[in-house]
C-alpha cells in the first residue's frame, strides 16, 4: 500500500536563498512516533513525478511505500537508508528544476533542513466529548507544499464500510490536482465529518475511524456530539 503523504514543508536553509520543499516522514499509523527508511527508491539528482514511490518506510506496523506529491528532482537525502526520523521531520529536500539541485543540496548540507511541519492524514486520536472513545481521525493531508486546504471531491467509502490499509478512502482536490488519499490502517469508517464538496484545512479531521464494527456507533455518536478530532497534525494517509 502506498502512502500518499511525504513532501511538503518548505525548508528554511541557512543561506535563505533556496526555498526547497522538504520530504517529511509521514505518520503511517496513529501510534507511530518515528519511522525507519528501509530503502530510497530514488537517488540524489533523480527526476521525480507525482505518484512515484520515493522511499520505503518501516513503521511500528509494517513497511510501506511513500509517494511523492509533486514533480521535481531529489536534491538531497538527509536521512540515509537504515536511518530513523521522527514523524514530521525532513528526510530529504526536493528541487523544482535540475538547475536548482546543487544549490538546494548545498543549503541542505549547511542547515538542518526543513522545520518539523506535518504534511498528512489519518492519525491523531480524536478527543470526543464523552471521553470514552479513542478514535483515530482521518486528517486532510497536504498534497503540495503550497496547499492550505483541500476539497473532498468524493468519498470512496461510506459510513460503516470496512477499510483496509491501502484502500482509497477519498479523492481530494488540492491547489494542484485531484489525488486519491489512502488509508494507513485497517478499521471501519465510522463517521464522515466533511461531506463531498466540503473543504477542510490541512491537518483537520474529515472523518473518524473505528477499530471494530462494534465501535462504529459509539465513535459516530462521539463525532456527532463533538467537533471530532483536534486539528493536530503529524499524520498521514
The CATH number that domain 2-109 falls under is 2.40.50.100
pTM: 0.52
Confidence of residue 1 (pLDDT cuts 50, 70, 90): very low
Assigned CATH class of 137-224:
mainly beta
Give the C-alpha separation, 118 to 113, whole Å.
Answer: 14
* Residue 206, number of CB atoms within 10 A of its CB: 29
**Is the fold of 2-109 the same as that of 137-224?**
yes
Is the CB of residue 234 less than 8 Å from the CB of residue 118? yes
Predicted confidence band at 111 (pLDDT cuts at 50, 70, 90)? low
C-beta separation of 90 from 113 below 8 A: yes
- Tell me if residue 79 falls in helix, strand or coil: coil
Q: Say what the pLDDT of residue 163 is.
A: 93
Hey, where are the domains in the chain? 2-109, 137-224
- What pLDDT, on the 0 to 100 scale, is given for residue 121? 42
Q: How confident is the model at residue 42 (pLDDT cuts 50, 70, 90)?
A: very high
Nearest alpha-carbon partner for 117 in 2, 232, 237, 15: 232
Q: What separation in angstroms does the CA of 104 have from each of 15, 25, 188, 195, 222?
A: 10, 19, 42, 40, 46
Whole-number pLDDT of residue 160: 95
Amino acid at each position: 500500500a502506498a502512502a500518499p503523504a511525504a513532501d511538503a514543508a518548505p525548508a528554511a536553509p541557512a543561506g535563505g536563498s533556496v526555498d526547497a520543499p522538504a520530504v517529511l516522514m509521514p505518520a503511517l499509523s496513529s501510534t507511530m512516533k518515528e519511522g525507519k527508511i528501509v530503502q530510497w527508491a530514488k537517488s540524489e539528482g533523480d527526476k521525480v513525478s507525482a505518484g512515484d514511490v520515493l522511499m520505503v518506510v518501516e513503521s511500528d506496523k509494517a513497511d510501506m511505500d511513500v509517494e511523492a506529491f509533486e514533480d521535481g528532482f531529489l536534491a538531497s537525502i538527509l536521512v540515509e537508508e537504515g536511518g530513523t526520523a521522527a514523524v514530521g521531520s525532513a528526510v530529504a529536500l526536493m528541487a523544482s528544476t535540475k538547475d536548482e539541485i546543487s544549490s538546494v543540496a548545498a543549503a541542505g548540507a549547511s542547515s538542518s533542513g526543513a522545520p518539523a511541519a506535518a504534511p498528512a492524514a489519518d492519525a491523531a486520536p480524536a478527543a470526543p466529548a464523552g471521553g470514552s472513545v479513542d478514535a483515530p481521525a482521518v486528517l486532510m493531508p497536504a498534497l503540495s507544499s503550497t496547499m492550505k486546504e483541500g476539497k473532498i471531491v468524493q468519498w470512496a467509502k461510506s459510513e460503516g464500510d470496512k477499510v483496509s490499509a491501502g484502500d482509497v478512502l477519498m479523492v481530494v482536490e488540492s491547489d494542484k490536482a485531484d489525488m486519491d488519499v489512502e488509508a494507513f490502517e485497517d478499521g471501519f469508517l465510522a463517521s464522515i465529518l466533511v461531506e463531498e464538496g466540503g473543504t477542510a484545512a490541512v491537518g483537520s479531521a474529515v472523518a473518524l475511524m473505528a477499530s471494530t464494527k462494534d465501535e462504529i456507533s459509539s465513535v459516530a455518536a462521539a463525532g456527532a456530539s463533538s467537533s471530532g478530532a483536534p486539528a493536530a497534525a503529524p499524520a498521514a494517509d
